[in-house]
Amino acid sequence: MMNSTGSDVIIIGGGLAGLALSILLAQQHHTVTVFEKDDYPRHKVCGEYISMESFPFLEQLGILLSDMKLPVINKLLLTDVHGNEMFTDLPQGGFGISRYMLDDLLAKRAVACGVVLNVKTRVDDVLFDGDGFTVLAAARQYTAKIVCGAWGKRANMDVKWHRSFIKEKQKGLDNYIGVKYHVRLPWTDNLIALHNFNGGYCGISRIEDDKCCLCYLTTAANLKQNGNDIAEMERNVLMKNPALGKIFSEAEFLYDTPVTISQISFRKKDTVLNHVLLLGDAAGMITPLCGNGMSIALHTAKIAFGAVDNFFISGGRKQMEYVYNKEWCKKFYFRIFAGRILQRIFEKQLAGNMFLSIFKKLTFLHQPVIKLTSGRPF
Ligand SMILES: Cc1cc2nc3c(=O)[nH]c(=O)nc-3n(C[C@H](O)[C@H](O)[C@H](O)COP(=O)(O)OP(=O)(O)OC[C@H]3O[C@@H](n4cnc5c(N)ncnc54)[C@H](O)[C@@H]3O)c2cc1C
């Protein structure tokens, strides 16, 4: 095992949360090392609709979104499994950008700010000695005063640390799969559609270069019932919704195979574990139908930045962990809880259909229900 020099902060995972935190810390002249097991640019399973609450924050980080002419999205179309439609406005709205582009822009910005970004380097263990950390990655040891875990929904570190959502028996809110394509088809720039099918839902909205992101979430059981064959499941289940039938038969698919992930869990998680502050999906994941996971990940970076920066001024680790957890709960606990309830409703065909047919008529409830899962600019 070789030794390496230390940094003030090590961040495990260079997705949205990890990169955003690294930029904030580097801008404040802290030395930061990020470990990312993959490389940039790369496709990721995500609906690629970002709530407008993140727009000013990303610009503050140095991602000049205003110059990119990205599609602005402010109308929502919901369909039930039979294709019955409901349109409504999105009070805050969002914009579309691929993860291929966004993560790459953030990675370049982090490096420009002085962050040491180690790509294709997986962290295998983190040890705390009472005063600081030793991180093991690619047969080397790295030291830091603070370690933040921004490793996403499910990673080797979750298994290593026997986190409860990994070791407990899988039940409701566990074991979903996500599938994503980029497609071309005639589409209204400001519209995001969420089409329900038995056992899941599929979102479609515009991203850069006149492309659309088509992304769906369903249960692993649904895939299993269709012989673990994605194309078969799309034919037998998704395309039963006529709106999805039309999209799947008319769109031009831009990859040979979709990007997929499995074993997604929406269960409650810790925000601090073994003195490591957990950010983004590593601390808890809002269900994708809310279109808010990316904003929450970015927002956790801002909260963690405040707590970590304060640690370097006042030196209290306990205080840092307490403040981070308290802020996290204040900002996200209710949104994530509301998202879980909506998820439960929509994944049951009958409940989802009933909810939509009633909700459609109660127009005065549209904005309040949407607002339950969204936040304000930060
Ligand atoms: C089907 C689906 C659709 C979605 N649609 C939307 C949407 O439209 N809008 C929205 O706002 N949100 C959406 N989300 C949620 C959103 O994608 C996530 O909330 C967001 O990506 C979380 O960012 P993160 O930084 O926490 O994690 P990630 O972006 O997943 O980053 C984690 C990083 O850590 C790296 N990593 C993991 N382990 C290690 C290790 N040991 N060492 C080094 N690196 C490691 C990974 O390679 C990865 O790059 C969706 C999610 C799903 C599943």
Q: How far is the CA of 111 from the centre of ligand 1 (A)?
A: 20
Q: How far is the CA of 41 from the centre of ligand 1 (A)?
A: 14
Cα(316)–Cα(63) distance, integer angstroms:
32
- Structure confidence at residue 87 as a pLDDT band (50, 70, 90): very high
- Structure confidence at residue 173 as a pLDDT band (50, 70, 90): low
* pLDDT, tens digit (0-9, with 9 covering 90-100), for 243-270: 999 999 999 999 989 999 998 988 889 9
Best mutation site among 57, 151, 303 for ligand 1 pocket (most ligand atoms within 8 Å of CB):
151
Q: How far is the CA of 332 from the centre of ligand 1 (A)?
A: 17
Question: Which residue type does 272 have?
Answer: V
What confidence score (pLDDT) does residue 50 get?
97
* pLDDT, tens digit (0-9, with 9 covering 90-100), for 180-226: 999 999 999 999 999 999 999 999 999 999 999 999 999 999 999 99
By alpha-carbon position, which residue is closest to atom 15 of ligand 1?
293
By alpha-carbon position, which residue is closest to atom 21 of ligand 1?
294
In CATH, the architecture of 2-170+265-372 is 3-Layer(bba) Sandwich (3.50)
What confidence score (pLDDT) does residue 272 get?
98
Angle at Cα 314 formed by Cα 16 and Cα 3, nearest 5°?
60
What confidence score (pLDDT) does residue 323 get?
97
Assign 219 to helix, strand or coil.
strand
What confidence score (pLDDT) does residue 188 get?
96
- Structure confidence at residue 161 as a pLDDT band (50, 70, 90): very high
What confidence score (pLDDT) does residue 3 get?
57
Best mutation site among 287, 294, 328, 373 for ligand 1 pocket (most ligand atoms within 8 Å of CB):
294
Indicate whether residue 263 lines ligand 1 (CB < 6 A). no
Cα(351)–Cα(6) distance, integer angstroms:
54
Give the highest mean pLDDT range of 25-39, 287-301, 336-350. 25-39
Average pLDDT score over residue span 76-84: 94
Q: How far is the CA of 107 from the centre of ligand 1 (A)?
A: 14
Atom in ligand 1 nearest the alpha carbon of residue 156: 41
Question: With 70 as the cut, is the pLDDT of residue 171 above it?
Answer: no
Indicate whether residue 157 lines ligand 1 (CB < 6 A). yes
By alpha-carbon position, which residue is closest to atom 30 of ligand 1?
152
* pLDDT, tens digit (0-9, with 9 covering 90-100), for 99-125: 999 999 999 999 999 999 999 999 999
Segments making up each domain of the chain, as ranges: 2-170+265-372
CB atoms within 10 A of CB 12: 29
* pLDDT, tens digit (0-9, with 9 covering 90-100), for 11-68: 999 999 999 999 999 999 999 999 999 999 999 999 999 999 999 999 999 999 999 9
Q: How far is the CA of 322 from the centre of ligand 1 (A)?
A: 25
Average pLDDT score over residue span 273-298: 93
Tokens representing 245 are 């039938």
Indicate whether residue 179 lines ligand 1 (CB < 6 A). no
Q: How far is the CA of 151 from the centre of ligand 1 (A)?
A: 8
Q: How far is the CA of 313 from the centre of ligand 1 (A)?
A: 31
By alpha-carbon position, which residue is closest to atom 8 of ligand 1?
47
What confidence score (pLDDT) does residue 172 get?
58
What confidence score (pLDDT) does residue 169 get?
64
Q: To which residue do tokens 């499941």 refer?
A: 233
φ and ψ at 94, to 5 degrees? -160, -165
Whole-model pTM? 0.95
List of residues 6+ apart from 306 with CB closer than 8 A: 323, 327
- Structure confidence at residue 1 as a pLDDT band (50, 70, 90): low
Distances (CA, A) of 214 to 181, 236, 240, 254: 5, 18, 16, 11
**Among the listed residues 82, 147, 148, the one whose alpha carbon sits nearest the alpha carbon of residue 352:** 82
Q: pLDDT > 90: what percent of the chain?
A: 78
Cα(266)–Cα(289) distance, integer angstroms:
12
Average pLDDT of the chain is 93
Q: How far is the CA of 281 from the centre of ligand 1 (A)?
A: 6
**Among the listed residues 176, 124, 167, 346, the one whose alpha carbon sits nearest the alpha carbon of residue 269:** 167
Helix (H) / strand (E) element for 135: namely strand 133-137
Indicate whether residue 13 lines ligand 1 (CB < 6 A). yes
Question: With 90 as the cut, is the pLDDT of residue 2 above it?
Answer: no
Cα(10)–Cα(154) distance, integer angstroms:
19
Q: Count CA within 13 A, CB hemisphere, residue 175.
A: 12
Average pLDDT score over residue span 280-284: 97
Q: Are 260 and 44 in contact (CB under 8 A)?
A: no
What confidence score (pLDDT) does residue 228 get?
96
Q: Which residue has the higher pLDDT, 375 or 317?
A: 317
What confidence score (pLDDT) does residue 284 get?
93
Q: pLDDT > 70: what percent of the chain?
A: 97
Best mutation site among 10, 37, 174 for ligand 1 pocket (most ligand atoms within 8 Å of CB):
37
Residue 128's DSSP bridge partners are: 133
List of residues 6+ apart from 187 with CB closer than 8 A: 204, 205, 206, 212
Question: With 90 as the cut, is the pLDDT of residue 289 above it?
Answer: no
φ and ψ at 254, to 5 degrees? -95, -5
Average pLDDT score over residue span 129-146: 96
Q: How far is the CA of 283 from the centre of ligand 1 (A)?
A: 11
φ and ψ at 128, to 5 degrees? -110, 135
Question: With 70 as the cut, is the pLDDT of residue 357 above it?
Answer: yes
